[in-house]
A and B are shown apart, each in its own frame.
Chain A
């Protein structure tokens, strides 16, 4: 996976994206036990062009120039199945901007915080997202004040209350 992360870092270094951060199940790996997953989700943040039009094509082309191949909705990059997800709302944009630096082997990367992972999972709201929230609450060191602040600013407190009612 390190080589995949090096390519992601190159995206930022070459100005193809403003920033990226690992999300989804793989980000949760940094805070909780390993669970099975097939792909590596990378949220990417673009510098907003004057036209307002954003396309993933230059990013795809860059990664293909590094040997990546398309596989269904993923890119197969250096032995890892990569799912690129543009930051699509204020919550995911904030999550990428506030991601934390981590090392995998000797390669630096950026990972969404556990608090943002919980907020995004609550907002997405599928059964597997709720399972991720429950796992993070049980196994990760959560900054409750920070989580509450995120949930409040992104209008997720009602979902949080419903979740806590189901999983006290």
Chain B
């Protein structure tokens, strides 16, 4: 195994983990806005693959 490439990969994984932990600390209201975007994106994939769309929440 190329040590440099392994180090690069490990650094990428470490940054991803840090980003997930940061995302976990967002306020719930922001997470709900993200959820709606995720639902919309999921539906783009579902439409493209002929699967039934999921319900997209309407936030207050």
Q: Is the CB of B60 within 8 A of A138?
A: no
Q: Is A15 an interface residue (CB 8 A)?
A: no
Q: Is the CB of A79 within 8 A of B57?
A: yes
CB-defined contacts of B55 to chain A, threshold 8 Å = 38-39, 71, 76, 81
Q: Is the CB of B17 within 8 A of A138?
A: yes
Q: Is A78 an interface residue (CB 8 A)?
A: yes
Q: Is B48 an interface residue (CB 8 A)?
A: no
Choose among A2, A37, A38 the residue that contacts B60 (Cβ–Cβ < 8 A): A2
* Number of A residues with CB within 8 Å of any CB on chain B: 27
CB-defined contacts of B31 to chain A, threshold 8 Å = 29, 33-34
The interface of chain A, by Cβ under 8 A from chain B, is 1-3, 29-39, 71, 76, 78-81, 102-105, 138-140
The interface of chain B, by Cβ under 8 A from chain A, is 17, 20-21, 23-24, 26, 28-29, 31-32, 34-35, 38-39, 41-42, 54-55, 57-60
